[in-house]
Amino acid sequence: MEHKRRNSILLAIIAIAVVVIPTTLIKIEVIDEYTAQILTLAGINAIIAISLNLISGITGQLALGHAGFMAIGAYTTSSLTMQLGLPLPLAIIAGGFMTAVFGFVIGFPTLKLSGDYLAIVTLGFGEIIRVVLINMKGVTGGAAGLKGVPGFTADILAQPVVSFAVVTATLVLVLAGITNFLLSSYGRAIISIREDEIAAASNGIPVFFYKMFSFTISAFLAGIAGGLYAPFFGYLNPTMFTFLKSVDFLIIVVLGGMGSITGTIIASYVLTYLQEFLRFLKDYRLVIYPFILIFIMLFRPKGLLGRSELSLVGLLNRILQSRAVKTKDDKEARR
Amino acid sequence: MSEPMLNVESISIVFGGLKAVSNFDFKIYEGELVGLIGPNGAGKTTVFNMLSGIYNPTEGKIQFREPDGITRSIEGKAPHVLAKAGIARTFQNIRLFKDLSVLDNVRIAMHNRIAYTPLGAVFRTKAYYQEEVRIKTKAMELLGLFNIDSKSEELAQNLPYGEQRKLEIVRALAGNPRLLLLDEPAAGMNTQETKNLMELISFIRKRFSVTILLIEHDMNLVMGICERLVVLDYGKIIAEGLPEEIKRNPSVIKAYLGEEATIDA
């Protein structure tokens, strides 16, 4: 019991440090604004990639339209703030719920079937959303885009710091929530669907219900990430949410490891940074980037972490333990 | 005792033009151990699939006495509903959650009686911790009864074949069934393993007071432990009765064992 308490305190400290330390570094300009923006974008990508991993890697149902979910979240949030004057946090949550409703409606007829139907339907859905957004000129600004989405703070100079802090804090909350969920009986139930649907059903798991549950939560999280993206970027255009964007998220998930949440986070930061870092290569970037992906997949076909998770507390405990063993050994050796 | 636990009234199922099972009539009473035998392709597993909700019979009725003592029609109900009502099964071609630990395989089957909500899991409430401890203790206890508790952290796919079969039975029992359907539990086992399995099945029956219906090819096992046998051929029941009677039934010998086979082998 004491061990458990110590671990949760340790975890809370790590969580706060992950948000506070880089925020301070950005504030005192050790990390420049450009890098801060990449880190923020990586955080947003990580949230969507986690949501995609939940349905594709963990529940085992391939989905190819998460850019569409992101778009719904982004446009809902910006419309609510710009046209109805709703406070931003409320608008972001509302964007999440709106996306969840869409997820529910698409999932209901599709997830009754087993097989890759969800992939096809979500792929189509993503494209439909994009076309609808182009044509709803009154609300979305059409193909010209939606300009002047209000940021996280009115103070333009403080914008990078606040954006980073809000996005990273959200990511930490999402990570904590999802991890706790997956380590419960509900998480096991959902994973059992990926492993073997028939066996899961025969052992009392309501397969359709949990697929729906997982897909709706996945849509909700993607919507939240979209809601964070709108004020962070300040400008929305339907061309930002194409099928290729959905594939980008899928690449992150596959590279991090289908079924590994921490792997997804690592891959989000690595790939987002890599895309920016390779800019000096100009057009060759589009050649080098896929090459890097191919190489990683050759050497780690199951992704960086496969299905396992990286546990900082576990790592710390192991280091402390091995040190304790070492000092014990030393003492014994001296005797 | 007069009312059967499971009463199957002439169920049939048609796949395309093929009538895989036709007019299958069957009753099983509380505490019985019945064997369902027949040559390959006779439709035994199809019967199991209908009883466990994987297939919906084209015709006929299946009545099951649920834990509350009320008998209900269960044909066409979803497998998870039947699992909760108390019908558990194993599979001919073992269907474990291969990439999960032995312990998780058992814990998943306990999910249908979980006592905390998803939010309770996210916020790690007291109910979450208590329930997780309870589930783990019970799962380990079950694994202990079958001597595989020392392997609880291993991946299910790394267990030797015999233990995988055992684990599947443990998982089925974890859902608190009243009727256990075993689909060829001795498939791929040698004589010694089959003998151990027979002891295991008798033990399960006593320890969990569960009614068992089993499909089996191994005649020694079937004759040794079943009180009653049902013989299926081409989707139809061709004989029913005590093992001794079945042994001598000429149509069974012809259909199941072949013309020249001797039974006492």
Reported as a pLDDT band with limits 50, 70 and 90, residue B84 is very high
pLDDT confidence of residue A142: 86
Mean pLDDT over all residues of chain A? 90
The SS3 of residue B210 is: coil
Interface test with A, best of B49, B52, B80 (most A CBs within 10 A): B80
Q: Is the pLDDT of residue B263 over 60?
A: no
Nearest to B121 among A181, A199, A201 (CB): A181
pLDDT in tens, B227-259: 999 999 888 899 899 988 888 888 888 876 666
Report the chain A residue with the minimal C-alpha distance to residue B119.
A181
pLDDT in tens, A96-146: 999 999 999 999 999 988 778 899 999 999 999 999 999 988 888 888 889
Nearest to A203 among B131, B132, B175 (CB): B175
Q: Is the pLDDT of residue A320 over 60?
A: yes
Reported as a pLDDT band with limits 50, 70 and 90, residue B265 is very low
Interface test with B, best of A178, A181, A185, A208 (most B CBs within 10 A): A185
Cβ within 8 Å, pair B80-A201 = yes
Residues in B closer than 8 angstroms to A185, CB to CB, are: 107-108, 110-111, 114, 116, 121, 131-132, 135
Q: What are the CA-CA distances from residue A59 to residues A183, A206, A212, A291 (Å)?
A: 14, 13, 10, 29
CB atoms within 10 A of CB A137: 11
Instruction: Say whether residue A207 is in contact with chain B using an 8 A CB cutoff.
Output: yes
Least Cα separation, residue B138 to chain A (angstroms): 14
Homologous superfamily in CATH for domain B1-86+178-265: P-loop containing nucleotide triphosphate hydrolases (3.40.50.300)
Least Cα separation, residue B189 to chain A (angstroms): 22
The SS3 of residue A321 is: helix
Residues A210, A61: Cα–Cα separation, whole Å = 11
Checking phi first, is residue A108 left (phi over 0); if not, alpha (psi -120 to 50) or beta? alpha
CB B39 within 8 A of CB B255: yes
Interface test with A, best of B48, B95, B136 (most A CBs within 10 A): B95
DSSP string, A165-217: HHHHHHHHHHHHHHHHHHTSHHHHHHHHHHH-HHHHHHTT--HHHHHHHHHHH
The helix (H) or strand (E) run that includes residue B78 is none
Beta bridge partners of residue B232, listed in sequence order? B237
Mean pLDDT over all residues of chain B? 89
Residues B187, B154: Cα–Cα separation, whole Å = 23
Cβ within 8 Å, pair A184-B118 = yes
Q: Is the pLDDT of residue A2 over 70?
A: no
Residues B231, B217: Cα–Cα separation, whole Å = 11
Residues in A closer than 8 angstroms to B125, CB to CB, are: none
Across A74-105, b (16+ Cβ under 10 Å) vs e yields bbbbbbbbbeeebebeebbbbbbebbbebbee
pLDDT in tens, A202-231: 999 999 999 999 999 999 999 999 999 999
Cα angle A134-A140-A145, degrees, rounded to a multiple of 5: 75
Least Cα separation, residue B161 to chain A (angstroms): 18
Report the chain B residue with the minimal C-alpha distance to residue A193.
B97
Least Cα separation, residue A281 to chain B (angstroms): 42
The helix (H) or strand (E) run that includes residue B213 is strand B211-215
Q: What is the mean pLDDT of residues B3-20?
A: 91
pLDDT confidence of residue B48: 93
Residues B228, B221: Cα–Cα separation, whole Å = 13
Least Cα separation, residue A194 to chain B (angstroms): 9
Residues in A closer than 8 angstroms to B107, CB to CB, are: 185, 188
Q: What is the mean pLDDT of residues B114-141?
A: 94
Cβ neighbors of A259 (< 8 A, separation 6 or more) are A53, A57, A58, A191, A194, A306, A307
ipTM of the complex as predicted: 0.90
The distance of Cα A291 from the centroid of its chain, to the nearest Å, equals: 24
Residues in A closer than 8 angstroms to B97, CB to CB, are: 191-192, 195-196, 199-200
Cβ within 8 Å, pair A203-B88 = yes
pLDDT confidence of residue A41: 96
Question: Domains, chain A, ranges and CATH?
Answer: 22-334 (1.10.3470)
Least Cα separation, residue B14 to chain A (angstroms): 21
pTM for this prediction: 0.90
Q: Is the pLDDT of residue B192 over 90?
A: no
Q: How far apart are the first and last CA of chain B?
A: 36
| Domain chopping of chain B, boundaries | 1-86+178-265, 99-175
Cβ within 8 Å, pair B99-A307 = yes
From chain A residues 172-201, the ones with a CB under 8 A of any chain B CB are 177, 180-181, 183-189, 191-192, 195-196, 198-201
Reported as a pLDDT band with limits 50, 70 and 90, residue A327 is low
Q: Which among A88, A91, A93, A63 is positioned nearest to A174, based on CA atoms?
A: A93
Q: Which among B257, B82, B241 is positioned nearest to B175, based on CA atoms?
A: B82
Cβ within 8 Å, pair B111-A199 = no
Percentage of chain B beyond pLDDT 70 is 95
Which residue has tokens 């015709």?
Answer: B59
Residues A221, A48: Cα–Cα separation, whole Å = 7
The distance of Cα A264 from the centroid of its chain, to the nearest Å, equals: 7
Nearest to A199 among B95, B104, B123 (CB): B95
Q: Which among A17, A45, A1, A19 is positioned nearest to A221, based on CA atoms?
A: A45
Q: What are phi and psi of A64, to 5 degrees?
A: -125, 20
DSSP string, B164-208: HHHHHHHHHHHT--SEEEEE-TTTT--HHHHHHHHHHHHHHHHHH
CB B30 within 8 A of CB B212: no
CB B106 within 8 A of CB B174: yes
Q: Which of A1-5, A110-114, A224-228, B133-137 is least confident?
A: A1-5
Nearest to B95 among A185, A196, A213 (CB): A196
Cβ within 8 Å, pair B107-A185 = yes
Q: Dig out the tokens for A125 from the structure.
A: 């859905």
CB B91 within 8 A of CB B102: no
Q: How far apart are the first and last CA of chain A?
A: 35
Q: What are phi and psi of B4, to 5 degrees?
A: -70, 155
Interface test with B, best of A9, A59, A188 (most B CBs within 10 A): A188
Cβ within 8 Å, pair B83-A198 = no
Q: Is the pLDDT of residue B92 over 80?
A: yes
Cβ neighbors of B227 (< 8 A, separation 6 or more) are B32, B33, B34, B242, B243
Residues in A closer than 8 angstroms to B104, CB to CB, are: 188, 191
Q: What is the mean pLDDT of residues A253-276?
A: 92
Q: Is the pLDDT of residue A55 over 60?
A: yes
pLDDT confidence of residue A28: 87
